């Protein structure tokens, strides 16, 4: 895998009135990487993702996308929201084709096929279950062929089984097209299951930037999986005994 830097964050800050949410984030994201950002609610992880998407302006610092500084909306990125945000008045195919021009139908249908819902193309979103809606939202993000896929807790509102299914789908799609993906989640196991790197945000700072070295598909029963999960969780909850201990890769 070539190690081209796609996105570089330099001292990114953000505060709302007197509350400082991000206190100078420095991170580098390589092309093709799957990165998860985890942390307690209110730790600034969603804000960071929205800044990367260009939906919110940073209060300080620089965001370099493909070597040039991000000024407004990040055109090369597509974000998927926790609450789907499908347009209820458009049929599913039209929802996926939103913002596309030219010969969009075939592309939209292809994207819908990749999430396994091509038979629902001509129905309205209200006929779908929560998990299916998120699949459509994923297809809508993928059809733009973005360089960067941003997932803002997309599975947070789903039941456990549907979430598992969606995790597999996201992993399969990532393995197929190696699209640089940043997943914001509060579920540590989900992060360990899917990511090359897990970043823990705490009090507006990067507390941990941990590479996960485990072969895919990953098994929850794998002792390394448990080890990673427990260490990261301990870091988030602040119950880690020896601070600063470097996690040892227990793979293979």
Partner 1 sequence: MKKVKIDKKRGEKWLPWVIPALILIVWQGFSGIGIIPARILPSPTEVLKAGVKLSASGELTTHISISLWRALIGFLIGGTLGFILGLFNGLFKYIDLLFDTSIQMLRNIPHLALLPLVILWFGIDETSKIFLVALGVLFPVYINTYHGIKSVDRGLIEMGQAYGLKGFSLFTHVIFPGALSSILVGIRYSLGVMWTTLIVAETIAANSGVGYMAMNAREFMQMDIIVLSILIYALLGKLSDWLAKLCENKWLSWRQLS
* Residues at the contact surface with partner 1, assessed by CB under 8 A: 53, 55, 73, 75, 78-79, 81, 83, 85, 87-90, 98-99, 123-124, 126-127, 140, 144
Shortest gap between Cβ of 100 and partner 1 (angstroms)? 8
Shortest approach of partner 1 to residue 57 CB, angstroms? Answer: 14
Question: Would you give the distance in Å from CA 160 to the centre of its chain?
Answer: 18
In angstroms, the CA 250 to CA 217 distance is: 16
Is the CB of 70 or the CB of 192 nearer to partner 1?
Answer: 70
Nearest to 182 by CA among 20, 4, 37: 37
What is the closest distance, in whole angstroms, from the C-beta atom of residue 94 to partner 1 in the complex? 9
The answer to whether the CB of 43 falls within 8 A of the CB of 144 is: no
Measured from the Cβ of residue 170, the count of other Cβ atoms closer than 10 Å reads 25
Complex with partner 1: residue 35 or 143, whichever CB lies closer: 143
Residue closer to partner 1, measured from CB, 79 or 158: 79
Shortest Cβ 124–partner 1 spacing (Å)? 5
How far is 35 from 126, CA to CA, in rounded Å? 32
51 CB neighbour count, 10 Å cutoff: 25
Query: Could you tell me which of 40, 54, 47 has the C-alpha nearest to residue 16?
Result: 47
Rounded least distance, CB 83 to partner 1, Å: 7
- Please say which residue, 144 or 202, places its beta carbon nearer to partner 1: 144
Give 79 or 179: the residue with its C-beta nearer to partner 1: 79
3-state secondary structure of 84: coil
């Amino acid at each position: 895998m070539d190690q081209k830097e796609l996105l570089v964050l330099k001292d990114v800050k953000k505060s709302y009135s007197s509350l400082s949410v991000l206190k100078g984030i420095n991170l580098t994201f390589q092309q093709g990487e799957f990165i998860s950002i985890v942390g307690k609610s209110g730790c600034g992880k969603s804000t960071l993702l929205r800044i990367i998407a260009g939906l919110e302006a940073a209060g300080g610092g620089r965001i370099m996308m493909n070597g040039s500084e991000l000024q407004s909306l990040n055109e090369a990125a597509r974000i998927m929201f926790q609450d789907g945000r499908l347009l209820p008045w458009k049929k599913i195919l039209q929802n996926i084709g939103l913002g596309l021009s030219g010969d969009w139908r075939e592309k939209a249908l292809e994207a819908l096929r990749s999430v396994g819902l091509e038979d629902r193309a001509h129905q309205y979103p209200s006929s779908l279950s929560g998990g299916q809606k998120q699949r459509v939202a994923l297809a809508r993000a993928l059809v733009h062929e973005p360089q960067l896929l941003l997932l803002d807790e997309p599975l947070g509102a789903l039941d456990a089984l549907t979430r598992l299914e969606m995790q597999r789908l996201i992993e399969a799609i990532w393995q197929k097209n190696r699209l640089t993906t940043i997943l914001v989640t509060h579920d540590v196991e989900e992060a360990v299951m899917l990511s090359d790197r897990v970043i823990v945000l705490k009090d507006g700072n990067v507390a941990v930037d941990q590479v996960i070295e485990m072969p895919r598909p990953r098994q929850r029963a794998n002792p390394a999986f448990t080890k990673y999960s427990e260490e990261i969780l301990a870091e988030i909850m602040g119950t880690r005994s020896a601070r600063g201990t470097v996690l040892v890769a227990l793979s293979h």
